[in-house]
Chain A
């Protein structure tokens, strides 16, 4: 039997993450904290949302570690995220600050580069949440 709720949750997150990372939102109010800088706003929102989603992913993987042994790639990826995420976020902070102080093409590119890395991890995490959620994980022996 299909369980659509987890899929819908994941879909919601996909849309949210997509909006954040692509900057597909309206104009920023000029007198706001970001002074109309959509990239900076998108970067900050993406960083915050990514950390929240990765929090849930590693918690989910840890909580279900025993059952997920049937899918070792999930554990391998989760540990990879655990090992690398702190550095990703440190680099995102640095790149964000450099861009804020000097919004040159080079700094914009550096910021986008690290955001792409985080987005890649986020995408994979969401794929695992979608593919190995309750619909799949409880029945590894079922053909």
Chain B
């Protein structure tokens, strides 16, 4: 028999996953495993990318993205990409 906190976790996780699938579906549906990716689908991906790109670091301003404690599991840090600080403007 799950406790109240267990139930909260179940609901919270389920809602998070449903929300994620909801948001992922247009992207996943846009990928045709055996067919062409249409002009419209390409435009949708480009628009989504540009919207994210425009936000820059503000895309990580949600409270869920704020560090609350000391982390530290080893996640690979890339070094091969040049000029990591700047958000270079699109090439002309």
Residues of A within 8 A of B (CB): 5-6, 9-10, 12-13, 15-16, 19-20, 24-29, 31-34, 41, 44-45, 47-49, 51-53, 55-56, 58-67, 73, 75-95, 97-98, 100-102, 109-111, 113-114, 117, 120-121, 124, 129, 133-134, 137-139
Contact = CB atoms under 8 A, between A and B. Distances in A.
Given A41-B45, A64-B13, A117-B76, A55 B62 contact: yes
Given A29-B38, A51-B59, A120-B76, 13 more contacts: A10-B17, A13-B20, A32-B39, A33-B43, A48-B49, A51-B52, A53-B20, A59-B64, A62-B68, A84-B77, A86-B57, A137-B6, A138-B3
A45 B72 CA distance: 28
B33 A25 contact: yes
Interface in B27-61: 27-28, 30-39, 41-43, 45-46, 48-49, 52-53, 56-57, 59-60
**Which 5 residue pairs are nearest across A and B when measured between Cβ atoms?**
A79-B71, A138-B6, A101-B91, A32-B42, A44-B49
Contacts, number: 233
A138 B9 contact: yes
Contacts of A85: 60, 65
Please classify the interface of chain A as helix (H, G, I), strand (E, B), loop, or mixed, using the class held by over half of its residues: helix
Contacts of B74: 80
Nearest to B75: A80
B27 A16 contact: yes
A28 B91 contact: no
Nearest to B5: A67
Contacts of B38: 29, 32
Given A52-B23, A66-B5, A79-B69, A34 B33 contact: no
